[in-house]
Amino acid sequence: MELRGVIRTDREMSDGRTIRYYDSKVTERNAVDKRPKEEQPGIGELRFDPLVNEWIAISAHRQNRIFLPPKELCPLCPTTSDELLTEIPETDYEVVVFDNKSPSLRPPLGDNALPDYAGPETDEGKAIGKCEVIVFNSDHGQSFCDLSETQVRTLLEAWRDRTYELSKEPFIRHIAPFENRGEEIGVTLHHPHGQIYAYSYLPPRVEKMLAAAKRYKHEFGRVLFDEIVKREIADKVRIVCQNEHWIAYVPYAARYPYEIHVAPIAPVADLTELTSEQCDSYPKIALEVMKRLDGVYGVPMAYIAAWHQAPVREGRDLLRLHWQITSVRRAPGKLKYLAGSESAMGAFIMDVTPEQSAAQLREVKL
Amino acid sequence: MELRGVIRTDREMSDGRTIRYYDSKVTERNAVDKRPKEEQPGIGELRFDPLVNEWIAISAHRQNRIFLPPKELCPLCPTTSDELLTEIPETDYEVVVFDNKSPSLRPPLGDNALPDYAGPETDEGKAIGKCEVIVFNSDHGQSFCDLSETQVRTLLEAWRDRTYELSKEPFIRHIAPFENRGEEIGVTLHHPHGQIYAYSYLPPRVEKMLAAAKRYKHEFGRVLFDEIVKREIADKVRIVCQNEHWIAYVPYAARYPYEIHVAPIAPVADLTELTSEQCDSYPKIALEVMKRLDGVYGVPMAYIAAWHQAPVREGRDLLRLHWQITSVRRAPGKLKYLAGSESAMGAFIMDVTPEQSAAQLREVKL
């Protein structure tokens, strides 16, 4: 995949991890990571939960990771003096992706394939995969919604490139770039950033989406997600905003008070398949959606924004790219918690109708 | 099902709902609900999420329910003066179950069956089912772990009776009694109480457990849950405590820093099938588990405690009763949040090993 309008420069960090600079213009990236060499943590375990046939990653080495540091100790800020050597040696940057220092999932050291069938007798596997950190902007005080369209475009190109490159790894089955925002959902670093999780197994929700799409294709001969988007376009009432290439809607059966799906109107399997036109019109709708979210209560909204893509090597013609944003705020000062019904039974109860939620988002004055 | 050592008295509330008193000794329950008659809220919707084939209940009428009232306005306290008429007209009580005032799920008014097959074209169904509130104790300041063994025994009998009675309703497919404790997980009333959700559909986690159990039975001819308990007994390292009839363990692939499953050693499908001996030895282990949880950090632990039972009319020989307690606390002052990987992808990452967690629980001095 050729990068569109963005240059990537790779550098090695002092402990051997890779840092990648994505720049919209030619920039020298020669700063050296001056921190002492540190040993990388070991690989965690994957354990099979036979009750529901799902893999659980156990990464007990992450318990001591940095927790809400003050601004002046932020490890995602540029390195501006020898006093504080951050994860990013350069004094400024646009978008940066580096290997996570305390990853839940790591590349394999040898042959570590998971067993084909697992049950209550299964021993653990290795927590194989890859976890990367993607920093949206060098400015600590900003959020995704403060980025310029050019910055979002560079960010999208970085997500696309990571998907392309990680897809080539034989041990990766699924790639999920996501952003967590807000202390209410446990964000430990305020600097605008996201994560990229590349799994060696299908995450349970993806597995379920794939099963639903297969069943639908089998019964009706059509691609489920395309029909869903058609319904949202026809129903109109849950559309939040749209442009020539993208549509943003609150899904018919939303699970969260504010849940928005943003999908390209011409469907693609993953980020790498987006056309130039689709890429160029993403920043506008992405920024509008985020500004509408913050506008509902006039305060920054805590959210999880995750890219759903087709898995790397299966279901490529069945699953479609979309960006899912979910927020747990249900009223000023009130959060939606996952309690007994949602957490123990998996049965979601929504407190607002998706139509009310979409109307509120549409009515925000930008 | 005959109640064991407990007497039940039913009374009608002013708005037509039923309140049931469960008493360990003969007690007159004649107090009248003096509140003005109020109209009951309408029925919500069930919407089918075709992306993953799950039903979502939409109950927009619940948004204004009471939120952390001060002790003197608690609607679950007994009614001790005409100044504050609570949900419970009696001046004292043992265990009480009443129909939820703002239920997410309600009994049907006519023929409201869900469609057999649902997809992106499916219209909504009615949010059929039943939601009940179960109050553990008349003392506002207590918690489950403060109850006496006799009180827990009465509570268990109430859970059993509700399961038995709700199972007879043709519109109920699954019954889940659960307790949410702690503001950190969104509890809106501090008075010790739980809820009973009776669903007209299989909750997604139950559906998944049933599929896993079916597959295991098909491949190995055995009941999955029984094999899981056998493994926990053989592995020993994750056992928290046990007695003659029950075992409490941190499951091999736990999802939460503190997750405990409490299961009868001789398996049963649901609460109604427990023998007298199993019932009588539950209070001791239940109280021990809860005290160990609170003992880990010396502060009340926020948790969700849910009874998993076989569904009412299917998988009766495949799924087994167990009590699942999950806590989101991962260290003093730190909670485990469900962020991108867990929430968007369904892929859980655990920060401690289940063996560490079980050892911590075992080491608590009672």
- Minimum Cα–Cα distance from A228: chain B residue: B120
Quick one: pLDDT at residue A245?
98
| Cα three-residue angle A356-A357-A359, rounded to 5 degrees | 65
pLDDT for the residue A128: 92
The reply to whether B194 and B212 lie within a common domain is: no
On whether both A225 and A149 belong to a single domain, the answer is: no
In the prediction, which pLDDT does B189 show?
A: 81
pLDDT grade, residue B242 (50/70/90)?
Answer: very high
The answer to the question of residue A1 being in a domain is no
Domain co-membership, A197 together with A213: no
> Which residue ranges in chain A fall short of pLDDT 70?
61-68, 110-118, 122-123
- Chain B positions in Cβ-Cβ contact with residue A134 (cut-off 8 Å): none
Q: Tell me the per-residue pLDDT of A219-255, one tens digit each, with 9 for 90 and over.
A: 999 999 999 999 999 999 999 999 999 999 999 999 9
pLDDT at B73: 85
Running DSSP on this structure, what letter comes out for residue A106?
B
Say yes or no: A196 and A251 in one domain: no
Q: Could you tell me which chain B residue has the CA closest to the CA of A64?
A: B351
| A298-313 b/e (C-beta count within 10 Å ≥ 16 → b) | eeebbbbbbbbbbbbe
Give the gap in angstroms from C-alpha A19 to the nearest C-alpha of chain B.
22
Predicted pLDDT at A183: 76
Best A43, A55, A56 residue to mutate vs chain B (most B CBs within 10 Å):
A56
What is the domain count for chain B?
2
- A231 with A165, same domain: the answer is no
Which of B171, B60, B166, B58 has its CA nearest to residue B112? B171
Give the residue on A whose Cα is nearest the Cα of B53.
Answer: A212
Instruction: Tell which wins on pLDDT, A302 or B187.
Output: A302
Report the C-alpha gap between B329 and B292 in whole angstroms: 14
CA atoms of B212 and A117, how far apart (whole Å): 12
Interface test with A, best of B61, B189, B337 (most A CBs within 10 A): B337
* pLDDT score, position A115: 65
Q: Do B231 and B285 fall within a single domain? A: yes
Under the banding of pLDDT at 50, 70 and 90, the label for residue B120 is confident
| Domain contains A2 | no
Whether B237 contacts chain A with CB within 8 A = no
The domain boundary residue, chosen from B184, B201, B218:
B201
Share of chain B above pLDDT 90, in %: 78
pLDDT in tens, B273-292: 999 999 999 999 999 999 99
Structure confidence at residue A241 (pLDDT) = 98
Instruction: Say yes or no: B260 and B344 in one domain.
Output: yes
Q: How far apart are CA A179 and CA A192, in angstroms?
A: 9
Share of chain A residues as helix, strand and coil, in percent rounded to the nearest 5: 30, 25, 50
- Cβ of A199 within 8 Å of Cβ of B347? The answer is yes
Predicted confidence at residue A51, as pLDDT, reads 94
Disruptive mutation site among A52, A214, A227 for chain B (greatest number of B CBs within 10 Å):
A52
Instruction: Identify the domain boundary among B201, B222, B249.
Output: B201
How would residue B358 be classed by pLDDT, with cut points 50, 70 and 90? very high
B271 belongs to a structural domain: yes
ipTM reported for the complex, 2 dp: 0.93
Is it the case that residue B118 has pLDDT exceeding 70? no
Helix and strand numbers (H, E) in chain A are 6, 17
Higher pLDDT, B61 or A322: A322
Which residues in chain B are contacts of A324 at CB distance < 8 A? 344
Residues B173-197 have a mean pLDDT of 90
What pLDDT score does B66 carry? 54
Q: How far apart are CA A307 and CA A134, in angstroms?
A: 14
Does B85 fall in a domain?
yes
Q: B38 or A151: which carries more pLDDT confidence?
A: A151
- Asked whether residue B2 is domain-assigned, the answer is no
Asked if A245 and A133 sit in the same domain, the reply is: no
A82 touches B at CB < 8 Å:
no
Same domain, B190 and B42: yes
Indicate whether B67 and B185 sit together in one domain.
Answer: yes
Give A244 to chain B, closest Cα distance, Å. 23
Nearest to residue B231, comparing CAs of A123, A115, A56, A117? A123
Q: Can you give the CATH number for the domain in which A341 is found?
A: 3.30.428.10
Q: Is A287 part of any domain?
A: yes
pLDDT for B187 equals: 78
Residue B342, domain extent: 206-363
Q: Is the domain of A257 the same as that of A186?
A: no
Choosing from B168, B201, B234, the residue where a domain stops is: B201
Q: Are residues B170 and B239 in the same domain?
A: no
Q: Please, what is the average pLDDT of chain B?
A: 92
Question: Which of the pair, A1 or B238, is modelled with greater confidence?
Answer: B238
Rounded to the nearest angstrom, the gap between the alpha carbon of residue B55 and the centroid of all alpha carbons in its chain is 19
Task: Let me know if residue B183 belongs to a domain.
Answer: yes
B167 domain residue, yes or no: yes
The answer to whether residue B126 scores a pLDDT higher than 90 is: no
| Phi, psi of A286, rounded to the nearest 5 degrees | -65, -45
Kindly list the distances between the CA atom of residue B16 and the CA atoms of A28, A61, B35, B100, B285, in Å, as whole numbers in the listed order: 75, 55, 11, 12, 38
The answer on pLDDT for B334 being more than 90 is no
